[in-house]
Amino acid sequence: MIADTATLADKLDQARAELTARGMNVAMAEAVRSGVSAVELLLPEGNAAELRAVLDAVFRPSDLLVTDHVPVIPHVFVSDMDSTMIAAECIDELADFAGIKPQIAAITERAMRGELDFAAALTERVGLLRELDETVIATCLAERVAPMPGAETLVRTLKARGCRTVLVTGGFHQFADPVAEQLGFDRVVANRLGVANGRLTGGLDGAITDSAVKRAVLLEEVSELGENAVSLAMGDGANDIPMLQAATYGLAYRAKPTARAAADGWIDRGDLTSVLELLDIPRSEWVWE
């Protein structure tokens, strides 16, 4: 867990008292390393959901991972793209060029909250982009799409530790491929916008990458690495939930409430390098951008 250093000691005492009152005795609570605001708590027994609730109430905002063992470096990292690895929802930015961003962004928000069927919402939004000039994609990529802080350091550090990295998104190859190349991902799974005669067709080429596909990609990667492979998944929306739940460690990044509740932990306070802190990888071993 990572929290603000200034109040860490007092809040640890508060959390310990609250957990003890609930019958969960803290056997150990200590800083991971000197100079780092990350703390490892060990409880011999207790309910994970209750533990999360107490720590969230006491330390919010915080970065947290709850596991039944000391975290290890994952063998495979599978991540969402939009609003997770990049600071944008690409379809909303494309819609801005078409003059319909509020209309499409409202659908995107509801889909990410789990209020709409993802595939139906995607089909509807892509249809509204019909006849948009293909050149807008490159303009949008250059002007509107930027990595989340710490994204490249996270991916390249995990790769340096032998971790396979996969970008799997309900967004589009036209954005995901260059993002993956910039950040260092080994594999990309995404949708592809249909294009004909230099304009968007309003449809997709190929099957839809949805929540079931995201989960299947993670399980496929784990299977190829062996039954003891440790997996890390990260996302922010409802369509990431099956993938987060299937992973050894499922982390929600600045996530919608449903995704946050389904994950093993969250990143609410820091940037993406907080994942490296939670995995106890010293900063001296990070691969900087």
Given a cut of 90, is residue 114 above it in pLDDT? yes
- Are 224 and 107 in a shared domain? yes
Structural domain ending residue among the three candidates 60, 85, 106? 60
- Residues designated as active site: 80, 82
Print the domain residue range for 169: 69-289
- Are 119 and 201 in a shared domain? yes
- Are 124 and 265 in a shared domain? yes
- Mean pLDDT for the stretch of residues 184-209: 98
Given a cut of 60, is residue 50 above it in pLDDT? yes
Per-residue pLDDT tens over the stretch 210-249: 999 999 999 999 999 998 999 999 999 999 999 999 999 9
Percentage of residues in the chain with pLDDT exceeding 70? 97
- Are 75 and 12 in a shared domain? no
- Are 56 and 76 in a shared domain? no
- Are 91 and 45 in a shared domain? no
- Are 28 and 148 in a shared domain? no
- Are 76 and 157 in a shared domain? yes
Where is pLDDT greater, at 103 or 7?
A: 103
Residue 75: which CATH number?
3.40.50.1000
pLDDT value of residue 39:
85
pLDDT value of residue 33:
61
Given a cut of 80, is residue 97 above it in pLDDT? yes
pLDDT value of residue 9:
78
* C-beta atoms surrounding 197 within 10 Å: 6
Structural domain ending residue among the three candidates 60, 82, 98? 60
Number of structural domains in the chain: 2
Per-residue pLDDT tens over the stretch 231-242: 999 999 999 999
Nearest alpha-carbon partner for 79 in 227, 186, 214, 234: 234
- Are 128 and 243 in a shared domain? yes
Cis status of the peptide bond prior to 61, with omega within 30 of 0: yes
Give the separation between CA 283 and CA 158, rounded to whole angstroms. 12
Nearest alpha-carbon partner for 37 in 6, 2, 13, 72: 2
pTM over 0.85: yes
Residue 279 is classified by DSSP as T
Structural domain ending residue among the three candidates 35, 60, 85? 60
